[in-house]
């Protein structure tokens, strides 16, 4: 497609919807840790390890919702189409982002984040949508552009979220009131909810269905059947092609390492400098995540296509894992100065994710098609196991952090990040066993005749 036709293509519309939605979604990243710490302190939980444990549990609540409902939404998208599931996720974001900013109770915050994760477990559906509307030669570039939408979201969203935090102190004026002082993180949540609502309106008007009725699967759509689908997608992964199973496993290990880092990154940067941390606030962390997002856009939006053609997706996936091992394990050695070193280490992290995610998604999509598997089911299983890793990661990281944050030597606040590096090495070893499925050439008429005569 060229010119105006390209701008009206289904993929282009999906890109814009995901971009707007991700900007709204990632607004919470810089302040979520501080928000939960404030709620915990308000309940009298002042010991650092015990307080920070709630941060991990809150992050796990979101991913638990994704874990349970991602396979369900993937299966429902195979049955009823991708569009209604994507719209449902946008409605969920709009409601629960606002609700999160209004909560003043730890347990309600956990519940709201769980419900938000349950409604937004549709990342796999977005990737399946790309698979529906793309030819094989378009997949890598388009998966990269979809990743770029996430990257732009991570570039713009956290920066805005940091800037809008604590508006009473940052802006004064109409925000200089007791209400805004008691709700310092409400404004970015309101902004995020509005962005998600705009994305919903945009999708309702312009996003077409990608899965024709004749290509949809038939099956039970009751709640009980959907719950069965969660376990069947996890257990049934053993029946998938060996190559697909390996990719799902590699993705799960990689995601476990990344979510453990994400849980403790702001806990580390928010520590006082005298304790070994960075002394960052929500605004500082917003700038760091903006840089990560910029790197993601650069790689996934422009470089991943040419790189995949030159080196192949399998090699890029391997390089991404190696960069992850170096970057994740280096984080706790950062200091506020020199600032260029912070960017250098976070560049490794951004490059790792930028190379790994679109390469693995492309390989998974191609392997699913080569083995005649339902794309929604495969992406649902991959996202389901990824969500399981994101459930385990924050909880595991939170308890390790609690046990080691005040320690010295081998067991200290460095420990979580070292484990992240070790997990990356394990993911690299596992992916060495992956072999791309070789297409079976079509049987010619002469071969058929010889076979009949033989």
Q: Alpha-carbon distance 425 to 428, whole Å?
A: 5
Which range in 40-44, 163-167, 253-257, 287-291 is most confidently predicted, on average pLDDT?
A: 253-257
pLDDT tier, 1 (very low <50, low <70, confident <90, very high otherwise):
very low
What are the DSSP calls for 77-92, one per residue? HHHH-HHHHHHHHHHH
Domain that holds residue 274: 9-208+230-436
Q: Report the percent of the chain where pLDDT is more than 70.
A: 89
Contact between 263 and 56 (Cβ < 8 Å): yes
Q: What is the pLDDT of residue 444?
A: 47
pLDDT value, residue 232:
67
* CA separation for the pair 433, 96 (Å, rounded): 41
Q: Is residue 214 part of a domain?
A: no
Mean pLDDT of 47-61: 88
Residue 404 within any structural domain of the chain: yes
Assign 381 a pLDDT band (cuts: 50, 70, 90): confident
| pLDDT above 70 (res 221) | no
In a domain, 200, yes or no: yes
Query: Looking at the predicted structure, is the pLDDT value of residue 340 above 80?
Result: yes
Query: Mean pLDDT throughout 266-272?
Result: 89
- Nearest-Å Rg of the Cα atoms of the chain is 22
pLDDT, residue 446, reads 52
Rounded distance between C-alpha atoms, residue 395 and residue 416, angstroms: 12
Assign 4 a pLDDT band (cuts: 50, 70, 90).
very low
Total domains in the chain come to: 1
For residue 25, pLDDT beyond 80? no
- Answer yes or no: pTM beyond 0.95: no
Q: Is 183 a residue whose pLDDT tops 60?
A: yes
For the stretch 430-441, pLDDT in tens is 998 887 775 544
Is the model more confident about 66 or about 54?
54
Closest to 29 in 3D by CA, of 202, 201, 156: 156
**Domain CATH code at residue 18:** 1.20.1250.20
* b/e map 193-210, b = 16+ CB within 10 Å: bebbbbbbebbeeebeeb
pLDDT greater than 50 at residue 454:
no
**Torsion angle in degrees (nearest 10) through CA of 135, 138, 142, 143:** 80
Q: How confident is the model at residue 418 (pLDDT cuts 50, 70, 90)?
A: very high
Helix and strand element counts for the chain (H, E): 20, 0
448: pLDDT strictly greater than 70? no
Q: How many angstroms separate the CA atoms of 301 and 18, rounded?
A: 14
Average pLDDT (292-306) is 81
- What is the mean predicted confidence (pLDDT) over 364-382? 78
pLDDT classification of 16: cutoffs 50, 70, 90: confident
Specify if 453 maps to a domain: no
Distance CA 354, CA 295 (A): 8
- 400 — pLDDT class (breaks 50, 70, 90): very high
Say whether pLDDT at 236 is over 70: no
Report yes or no on 3 lying in a domain. no
Residue 349 lies in a domain: yes
Mean pLDDT, to the nearest integer, of 265-271? 90
- Which of 55-69, 106-120, 214-228, 390-404 is predicted with the least confidence, judged by mean pLDDT? 214-228
Q: Per the domain annotation, does 224 fall within a domain?
A: no
Question: What was the pLDDT predicted at 328?
Answer: 95
Residue 383 placed within a domain: yes
Using the predicted structure, report yes or no on whether residue 223 has a pLDDT greater than 50.
no
């Amino acid at each position: 497609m060229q010119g105006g036709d390209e701008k009206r293509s289904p993929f282009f519309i999906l890109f814009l919807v995901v971009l707007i939605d991700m900007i709204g979604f990632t607004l919470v990243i810089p302040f979520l840790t501080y928000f939960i710490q404030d709620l915990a302190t308000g309940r009298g939980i002042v010991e650092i390890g015990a307080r920070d444990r709630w941060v991990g549990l809150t992050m796990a609540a979101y991913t638990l919702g994704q874990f349970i409902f991602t396979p369900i939404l993937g299966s429902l998208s195979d049955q009823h189409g991708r569009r209604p599931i994507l719209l449902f996720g946008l409605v969920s974001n709009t409601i629960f982002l606002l609700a999160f900013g209004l909560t003043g109770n730890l347990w309600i915050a956990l519940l709201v984040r769980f419900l938000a994760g349950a409604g937004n477990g549709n990342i796999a559906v977005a990737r399946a949508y790309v698979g529906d509307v793309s030819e094989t030669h378009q997949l890598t570039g388009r998966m990269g552009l979809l990743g770029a939408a996430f990257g732009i979201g991570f570039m713009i969203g956290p920066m805005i979220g940091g800037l809008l935090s604590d508006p009473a102190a940052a802006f004064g004026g109409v925000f200089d009131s007791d209400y805004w002082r008691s709700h310092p993180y409400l404004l970015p949540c309101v902004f995020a909810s509005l962005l998600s609502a705009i994305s919903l309106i945009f999708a309702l008007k312009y996003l077409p269905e990608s899965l024709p009725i004749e290509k949809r699967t038939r099956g039970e759509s009751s709640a009980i059947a959907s719950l069965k689908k969660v376990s069947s997608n996890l257990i049934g992964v053993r029946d998938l092609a060996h190559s697909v199973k390996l990719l799902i496993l590699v993705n799960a290990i990689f995601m476990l390492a990344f979510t453990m880092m994400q849980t403790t990154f702001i806990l580390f940067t928010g520590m006082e400098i005298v304790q070994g941390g960075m002394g960052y606030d929500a605004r500082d962390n917003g700038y760091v995540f903006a840089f990560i997002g910029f790197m993601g856009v650069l790689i996934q939006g422009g470089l991943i296509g040419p790189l995949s053609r030159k080196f192949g997706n399998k090699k890029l996936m391997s390089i991404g894992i190696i960069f992850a091992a170096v970057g994740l394990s280096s984080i706790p050695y950062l200091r506020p100065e020199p600032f260029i070193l912070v960017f250098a280490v976070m560049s490794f992290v951004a490059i790792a994710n930028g190379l790994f995610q679109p390469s693995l998604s492309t390989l998974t999509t191609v392997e699913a098609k080569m083995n005649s598997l339902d794309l929604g089911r495969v992406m649902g299983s991959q996202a389901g196991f990824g969500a399981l890793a994101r459930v385990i990661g924050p909880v595991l990281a939170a308890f390790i952090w609690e046990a080691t944050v005040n320690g010295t030597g081998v067991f200290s606040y460095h420990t979580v990040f070292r484990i992240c590096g070790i997990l990356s090495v394990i993911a690299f070893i596992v992916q060495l066993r992956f072999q791309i499925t070789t297409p079976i050439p079509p049987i010619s008429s002469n071969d058929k005749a010889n076979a009949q005569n033989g």
